[in-house]
Structure 1
Amino acid sequence: MKKLKKTLLVLLSLLALFALAIIIYFYSLRPKYEGETPLQNISKDTEVYFDEYGVPHIYASSQKDAMVALGYVHAQERLWQMELMRRIAPGRLSELFGSKTLKNDKFFASLGIDENSQKAVDLLDKNSQEYVMASAYLDGVNQYLHQGKTPVEFTLLGIKKQDFTLKDIYNIFGFMSFSFAMAQKTDPLLTDIKNSLGDPYLQDFGLSGTLNTTQIKNFQGKEIEYSKIAQSITAMLENQPLPPFIGSNSWVIGAEKTKNGKVIFANDPHIGFSQPCTWFEAHISCPDYEIYGYYLAGTPFPLLGHNRKMAYGLTMFENDDIDFFSEKINPKKPSEYYVNNKVNTLETKNLSIHVKDSASVLLHVKKTIHGVIINDVLDAVTSSQPISMSWIYTSEPNNILKAVYALSHATNYKQYKKGVELIHAPGLNIMYGDALGNIAWTTAGKLYKMPENVNPNFILNGSNGIDDKKEFLDFSKNPQALNPSWHYVYSANNQPEAVDGYLYPGYYLPKDRATRIDYLLQQKNNWTSTDVQKMIVDNTSATVSKTIKEMLSKVSVKNQSKNFQIAYNTLSHWQGNNDLNETAPTIYNKWLYFYLKNTFKDELGEEKFNVLMGTHVIKQVLTTQCLNPNSVWWDNTSTKNKVETQSDILTLSLQQAIASLEKQLNSNPNEWTWNKVHKLEHIHPVGKVKILAPLFNVGTFEVAGSNEVINNLLFALTDEKQYTVKAGPSTRRIIDFSDVENAVSILPTGQSGVPLSAHYSDQAKMYNEGQFRKMKLNKKEIIATSTKLIFKAK
């Protein structure tokens, strides 16, 4: 017995020592926030003050010195994230994760982002400021790569360090651009519905633009199962180790509508949640330049930024910049294809995908004049009918680095607009406000018209010489507004007004958020920063009360259960707010799921139904089709001798929703509160391994908000007990030009991507509670509240 106790004691001691060693090791990897560090290629010592939340405030004698320092401090917090970001577009994730990311690598490698990036680097003016400053940033990143601490993820995965290059920067922007696109999820599915079910089944989808209710006003002051394509691409984007870009809100209030007579700017881009979070904040101050910016990992210029003179931010435009073409191959010579009765030869290239712990995979990529043939790179597309993908990003000259440099260095509206004009893809709404009182919304992206009889919502004919005719438009035709007479601009990914009678095709989101933003902005003429802080976390739906009322009017309440009656009564009195203690959102979202399942799944089948649920189309449809008693979708095609009606489906769906909640929660509807089912966890790629999750993941948190409210915390409608929030505001920023030194912001978790750093998750609780912290610009305040790191010139 004594020997057993002694053995157990020894084992426990060894475990304790092992645990202590791990903790010491993790602590040793924490970033350096004070002291001195030698840094090459800076002309003078450079001071970096890290404030209470780990935001670096870089004071340098020149922009070039500041950029070297920025690269270094960015790398010490986010080197692992940078490594992941640069690997997606060229198809290099399998070098880290093995065959489970091979599908992702094959697809992205085939798109040509890497080749496009190299071409952009070759054409870049080596004397330009964007080249000089980006190179200085990379110098700082690479200095840390060689002399700094090795991230634990590098050690766990056996990653060999390789210098970062300009091509990596372009590849990161390229991945970002593709993750914005929605055509790859939508066009193949709609084509499949049209081919298999017929046009009547598309009427509820409003493909003519009828569902995309115009919200943003222009104003100038002075046979193939195509759905498998969508299914395959959607799965890749959702399962990759970095989050896709989703949507966003932004509004800018003119001086005429604010209490202090100055512009107030607000922006919260919606992006998939992950750990570390998307943005890295940094403040640069030089004698000739200042910016407080939000940076993607591995990029030198901020996509969101402000200073004392101006502020800019973005939302997704959601315009259509991807088209799919069905190609006609010469049956006698497979290397040839036809366009307008003319023979063309397929372009081919061979790529090698390196796979960890396995043999490399040779990829044969074929390309037409329209774009890459995706059959060979998507396992789900097995048809012999070749489908090509045309994407504006890779088919047009790439000036993204120049564009983002121009935006971050603009000092007035004209300079800002020139920067916007340089962006060819993705389509973005760029929002602007300045200290002089100007407010603006400008869409970025190279827009085009197609022939009137060509509908880009479907797979197009690549051989007829008609469907591929694009008329590219001058930038002046991009929807935009400058200093409108109603004194505010806003964007919530909704469709702009027609320009010259033409509605730009796209995959716009429903009017819910836009309607709510517009309504709230109309109500006041004395806005303050505090008011906007409350508005940006608003949880109330602008449309659900009316929709619920109409839906409930079709529900049969006779002979229903007690809980059915309680749920019905709860919904009938609901004002659309999605707070933690509300029960109506729990009931409503479960009802929505069963309504959609009972309406669409019988015709579409499991796979296509799941694809539909991942598109913006379903968000547009659910508030209109459910109110259409004549919709062909109501009938359940799997039942015989009966034609289901709107009332049948809505009543059945509410019954099923209540039964599901009784089973998953309990029998008391008054306890079905939103906080029990709507939850958020920030998942690190390594944290997907269960034993490592406590070290790397952040959360789980109960969160308010919902789909398509201003506090847009997105989740998939399912019959699961818990709605796992997948995306939402990647930051919330508010800049009041009457008090710009007290502008506020928040991140979902924290600045650092290094576990056990004090700033790994120090903002998470504040974020979930709708709180904010300062984006400091005042040097005296910064010095008084920060640690100091000096980069010594060598």
Structure 2
Amino acid sequence: MQKNLRALKKIKKIVLVILAILSLVAIGIFIFIQTLKPTYDGEQALPGLKNEVQVYYDTYGIPHIYGQNEKDAFRALGYVHAQDRLWQMELLRRIAPGRLSEVFGKDMITTDKFLLSLGIDDASEKTIATIDKNSEVIALTQAYLDGVNAFIKDGPTPMEYYLTGIDKEPFVLKDVYNTIGYMAFSFAMAHKTDPLLTNIKENLGESYLADLNSDENPALTLIKNFPQQQDSLKVSLSQVALAALEKLPVPMFEGSNSWVIAPEKTKNGKVIFANDPHIGFSQPSVWYEAHVSTPTYEKYGYHLAGVPFPLLGHDRNLAYGLTMFENDDIDFYYEKQHPTDSLKYNYKGEWKSYEIVTKTIKVKDEKDITFTYKKTIHGPVLNGIADQIISRRPISMSWIYTKLENKTLDAFNGIIHADNLNDFKKALEDIHAPGLNIMYGDAVGNVAWFATAKLYEMPKGVNTKLILNGYLGEEELVRYLDFSENPQAINPPWHYVYSANNQPDSINGKIYPGYYLPENRAKRITQLLDAKNDWDKDSASKMINDVTSSVNPTVMKNFINALNESILTDKQKELLRVLEKWDGSANLTSFETTVFHKWEYVLLKNTFLDELGEDRFTQIMATHFLKRLIAPLSANESSIWWDNITTQEKETRTYIVTKSYNEAFVLLEESLGKDYTKWTWNKVHTIEHPHPIGQVEALRSYFNVGPFPVNGTREVINNMAFSYADDGFHKVNSGPSTRRIIDFSDIENSISILPTGQSGNMFSPHYKDQAQMYVNGEFRKMMMNKEEILKNAKSVLKIHPE
């Protein structure tokens, strides 16, 4: 008995020791986690400050930064930005110089090769060598970087650095330009489109290309120009791009909506500004929100990680925002290789030596990779950067971004310091790439839209959507256009401006080539704006959440009219009668939306897969022109694509549409049940915000945010985009990166929302505190009144000179 008691006591002691150890470990983990959290209150010394800066954090972790001068304020901005978003900054600066393999290993080598070959890092190097280091723009940028580096030196290390095993490194000026370069390339639609269209033309013929509607179409809803008046203010390059960009652990810029309503159409007689840039979803989301105020400067702005100047912003005088212009600024060229000397190519009858570029990629847990590629007068030869390119013909890439002087930072410094429309417009001339639609509205009633990019004229008849002839010298740009020739509208008589990435109207009789998105959103926006003259903040906020398509019901009716109903079941016919009445709304309870997208996807496969094969079909599904093609294709009874070339019969539109409806109906019954009224959109359309570390399944629930059922769909105003998949689930991958409504009749109660939260630190209370609000279509105030900010501040961080 005593032996048993002694044994029990011994076990008890062991258990107590184990519990004590576990408690100490738990306490240690708790203390460690506390050290990783951002510091939103207290005091912080910062080297280089002249005067103390106060940072007031509101309910959602938005910093309101008050400084005595701009350098101090931007230095503080860099510090607070880094403590919430350092890991995001780290990833963005690694894209252009091909340094993702250092973090994620050998799976990123192809991506790093592709990105290095674009020449962004080399262009940034040239810019740094020639800029005026004493200019205001560089002084403010360096102050911001000093703040970032102060946090790197003294602040806690984000969890992602521990998990990936990389060290923190100071940020330098070139990192800022490289991040801007990522934004310039992020669009990347030329790489997905031009080689594919060339392939279709060369392998299938001109008739197949003609039916794809890949060219600009002046019959669609256009952005109307109104310039300022005198009295007014085997190749598989597409495979390479897809393979490289699919693995990119950061969001891509996709599209966007914006409209600015003039006083004549608003209830309170003041401008109302709306903007929701469409960007790939990620965690953290792309924008960092900050309100910066000094005696000489104030902006409530949205910042790209690692860039000091807000790309979206407003103050009491004016508001600005952006959408992607979608212009064509990349041209591909076939080069003529020397028959015996692989180091030479021919240009205008002369044999020239390739420039040989050698790059080294550091790879996590592997040996360094060294590779070379060639360059011609046009640009890098892409055959040297990926195994997928098997063409014997060298193909080079000419990209405006790397060819011209980079003044983008100067442009945005000018934008944020502009006090009026004329100064604002002047700053835009320095944006050469990426192509942006810059939207403007101000307190005195001006509204404006400017297509900003360095546009250029090509010889008549040259189709820049195809790979060009690089050796004859006859398909080179003729001239650069002056900024005054760019599409724009200033105070037009219809009393609003807008952009939905759709095609702008012509200037001087020319429609600029581009990779424009379909008219769907533009048509809905103009319908809503034209029909109403008493707009206010509430109605504008409802409009920015609108989920009704002005085009999809027409496409649905075209499908239905083409059907052979005689072979359908009674239940299938019954569903058709319901679908005929659908108004195009994509809300959570809509089963019509579920049917439409399943039918559309099956029809696209039945139409294109036989001619294109799996690889090219995947490529075409990733293009903008495919989205533009759907509506005209649904009405084109004689398209060459309807015939299935693998059969002896000649299939018709009626055959393909009917076959697709039958197959879609069966697939939906198998996945969602026999009752079509229960095929609701919320069951198949979800949004999840992925963190790069969340790709590890065990860590997904800790780092990712979501998933949530979400309304909206592709190419409605609330543009919740997704790629089609055979499993029938539509996982949203891009959409509004913020929604902003700025009402100049009540500027201090303007509203906004972020997709997840302000902080990228998973231990911050602001990591995902806006996620459900965003899905619900809700907003929060963008506070600018200092008295209100001080009264409602949740915490205060005082940053003083070291």
* TM-score, normalising length: structure 2: 0.96
- Which amino acid counterpart does residue 735 of structure 1 have in structure 2? I
Residue in structure 2 matching 1:791, options 769, 774, 799: 799
Contact 2:111–2:243 under 8 Å retained in 1: no
Question: 1:677 and 2:689 equivalent?
Answer: no
How far has the Cα of 1:550 moved from its partner?
Answer: 1.7
Q: Helix, strand or coil: the match of 1:230?
A: helix
CA distance in 2, matches of 1:487, 1:16: 67
Contact 2:637–2:653 under 8 Å retained in 1: yes
Residue in structure 2 matching 1:622, options 613, 623, 630: 630
- Which amino acid counterpart does residue 606 of structure 1 have in structure 2? E
Q: Cα–Cα, structure 1 residues 16 and 318, in superposed 2: closer, same or farther, change >3 Å?
A: farther
Q: Cα–Cα, structure 1 residues 22 and 570, in superposed 2: closer, same or farther, change >3 Å?
A: farther
Contact 2:221–2:523 under 8 Å retained in 1: no
Residue in structure 1 matching 2:131, options 116, 124, 129: 124
CA distance in 2, matches of 1:499, 1:345: 40
- Which amino acid counterpart does residue 162 of structure 1 have in structure 2? E
Query: 643-652 vs 211-220, which deviates more?
Result: 211-220
Question: 1:171 and 2:178 equivalent?
Answer: yes
Q: Helix, strand or coil: the match of 2:566?
A: coil
- Which amino acid counterpart does residue 242 of structure 1 have in structure 2? V
Query: 163-172 vs 1-10, which deviates more?
Result: 1-10
How far has the Cα of 1:730 moved from its partner?
Answer: 0.3
How far has the Cα of 1:416 moved from its partner?
Answer: 1.0
Task: Note the 1:204-243 alignment, pairs <5 A.
Answer: 204-210=211-217, 213-222=220-229, 225-226=234-235, 228-243=236-251
Question: Corresponding residue for 2:260?
Answer: 252
How far has the Cα of 1:212 moved from its partner?
Answer: 7.2
Q: Cα–Cα, structure 1 residues 590 and 23, in superposed 2: closer, same or farther, change >3 Å?
A: farther
Residue in structure 1 matching 2:455, options 444, 447, 465: 447
Q: Cα–Cα, structure 1 residues 16 and 377, in superposed 2: closer, same or farther, change >3 Å?
A: farther
Question: Corresponding residue for 1:746?
Answer: 753
How far has the Cα of 1:22 moved from its partner?
Answer: 4.1
- Which amino acid counterpart does residue 390 of structure 1 have in structure 2? S
Question: Corresponding residue for 2:671?
Answer: 664
How far has the Cα of 1:52 moved from its partner?
Answer: 0.4
Query: 75-84 vs 779-788, which deviates more?
Result: 779-788
Question: Corresponding residue for 1:103?
Answer: 110
Task: Note the 1:344-493 alignment, pairs <5 A.
Answer: 344-493=352-501
Q: Helix, strand or coil: the match of 1:246?
A: coil
Question: Corresponding residue for 1:715?
Answer: 722
Residue in structure 1 matching 2:645, options 637, 643, 646: 637
Query: 757-766 vs 335-344, which deviates more?
Result: 335-344
Q: Helix, strand or coil: the match of 1:710?
A: coil
CA distance in 2, matches of 1:311, 1:433: 5
CA distance in 2, matches of 1:199, 1:485: 42
Q: Helix, strand or coil: the match of 2:631?
A: coil
Question: 1:162 and 2:169 equivalent?
Answer: yes
- Which amino acid counterpart does residue 549 of structure 2 have in structure 1? S
CA distance in 2, matches of 1:626, 1:14: 69
* Structure 2 alignment gaps of length 5 or more: none
- Which amino acid counterpart does residue 154 of structure 2 have in structure 1? Q
Contact 2:687–2:732 under 8 Å retained in 1: yes
How far has the Cα of 1:675 moved from its partner?
Answer: 0.4
- Which amino acid counterpart does residue 551 of structure 2 have in structure 1? T
How far has the Cα of 1:73 moved from its partner?
Answer: 0.1
- Which amino acid counterpart does residue 395 of structure 2 have in structure 1? I
Residue in structure 2 matching 1:29, options 33, 36, 41: 36
Question: 1:327 and 2:335 equivalent?
Answer: yes
Residue in structure 2 matching 1:45, options 37, 43, 52: 52
Contact 1:325–1:459 under 8 Å retained in 2: yes
Question: Corresponding residue for 1:81?
Answer: 88
Contact 1:238–1:244 under 8 Å retained in 2: no
Task: Note the 1:242-321 alignment, pairs <5 A.
Answer: 242-321=250-329
How far has the Cα of 1:626 moved from its partner?
Answer: 1.9
How far has the Cα of 1:400 moved from its partner?
Answer: 1.0
Q: Helix, strand or coil: the match of 2:657?
A: helix
Residue in structure 2 matching 1:151, options 153, 158, 162: 158
Question: Corresponding residue for 1:584?
Answer: 592
Task: Note the 1:770-781 alignment, pairs <5 A.
Answer: 770-781=777-788
How far has the Cα of 1:327 moved from its partner?
Answer: 0.4
Q: Cα–Cα, structure 1 residues 241 and 13, in superposed 2: closer, same or farther, change >3 Å?
A: farther
How far has the Cα of 1:221 moved from its partner?
Answer: 3.3
- Which amino acid counterpart does residue 688 of structure 2 have in structure 1? E
- Which amino acid counterpart does residue 565 of structure 1 have in structure 2? K
Q: Helix, strand or coil: the match of 1:271?
A: strand
Query: 357-366 vs 562-571, which deviates more?
Result: 562-571
Percentage of pairs with the same residue? 51
How far has the Cα of 1:334 moved from its partner?
Answer: 1.7
Contact 1:275–1:697 under 8 Å retained in 2: yes
Q: Cα–Cα, structure 1 residues 138 and 328, in superposed 2: closer, same or farther, change >3 Å?
A: same
Contact 2:685–2:711 under 8 Å retained in 1: yes
Q: Cα–Cα, structure 1 residues 23 and 574, in superposed 2: closer, same or farther, change >3 Å?
A: farther
How far has the Cα of 1:239 moved from its partner?
Answer: 1.8
Task: Note the 1:514-593 alignment, pairs <5 A.
Answer: 514-593=522-601
Q: CA RMSD in A?
A: 1.8
CA distance in 2, matches of 1:16, 1:464: 76
- Write out per-residue CA displacement over residues 720-759 of structure 1, whole angstroms, 9 at most, x where no aligned residue: 1321000000000110011111111000000000002110
- Write out per-residue CA displacement over residues 349-370 of structure 1, whole angstroms, 9 at most, x where no aligned residue: 2111111111111121210000
Question: Corresponding residue for 1:609?
Answer: 617
- Write out per-residue CA displacement over residues 618-662 of structure 1, whole angstroms, 9 at most, x where no aligned residue: 10111111211100100111122x111101100110111111111
Q: Cα–Cα, structure 1 residues 693 and 21, in superposed 2: closer, same or farther, change >3 Å?
A: farther
Alignment coverage as a number of residue pairs = 790
- Write out per-residue CA displacement over residues 483-522 of structure 1, whole angstroms, 9 at most, x where no aligned residue: 0000000000001111111110010000000000001001
- Write out per-residue CA displacement over residues 31-65 of structure 1, whole angstroms, 9 at most, x where no aligned residue: 11111111111111110000000000000000000
Query: 331-340 vs 162-171, which deviates more?
Result: 331-340
Q: Helix, strand or coil: the match of 1:658?
A: helix
Question: Corresponding residue for 2:731?
Answer: 724
CA distance in 2, matches of 1:632, 1:294: 47
- Which amino acid counterpart does residue 245 of structure 1 have in structure 2? F
* TM-score, normalising length: structure 1: 0.97
CA distance in 2, matches of 1:500, 1:720: 48
Query: 656-665 vs 71-80, which deviates more?
Result: 656-665
CA distance in 2, matches of 1:181, 1:153: 28
Query: 6-15 vs 714-723, which deviates more?
Result: 6-15
CA distance in 2, matches of 1:495, 1:357: 47
- Write out per-residue CA displacement over residues 428-455 of structure 1, whole angstroms, 9 at most, x where no aligned residue: 1000000011100001100011111211
- Which amino acid counterpart does residue 750 of structure 2 have in structure 1? A
Query: 70-79 vs 102-111, which deviates more?
Result: 102-111
- Which amino acid counterpart does residue 213 of structure 2 have in structure 1? G
- Write out per-residue CA displacement over residues 173-210 of structure 1, whole angstroms, 9 at most, x where no aligned residue: 00111012311100000000000100111122224423
Q: Cα–Cα, structure 1 residues 663 and 398, in superposed 2: closer, same or farther, change >3 Å?
A: same
CA distance in 2, matches of 1:205, 1:112: 32
Q: Cα–Cα, structure 1 residues 472 and 763, in superposed 2: closer, same or farther, change >3 Å?
A: same
How far has the Cα of 1:234 moved from its partner?
Answer: 1.7
- Which amino acid counterpart does residue 66 of structure 1 have in structure 2? A
- Which amino acid counterpart does residue 338 of structure 2 have in structure 1? N
CA distance in 1, matches of 2:663, 2:555: 19
Contact 1:58–1:69 under 8 Å retained in 2: yes
Contact 1:566–1:669 under 8 Å retained in 2: no
Q: Helix, strand or coil: the match of 1:266?
A: strand
How far has the Cα of 1:563 moved from its partner?
Answer: 3.7
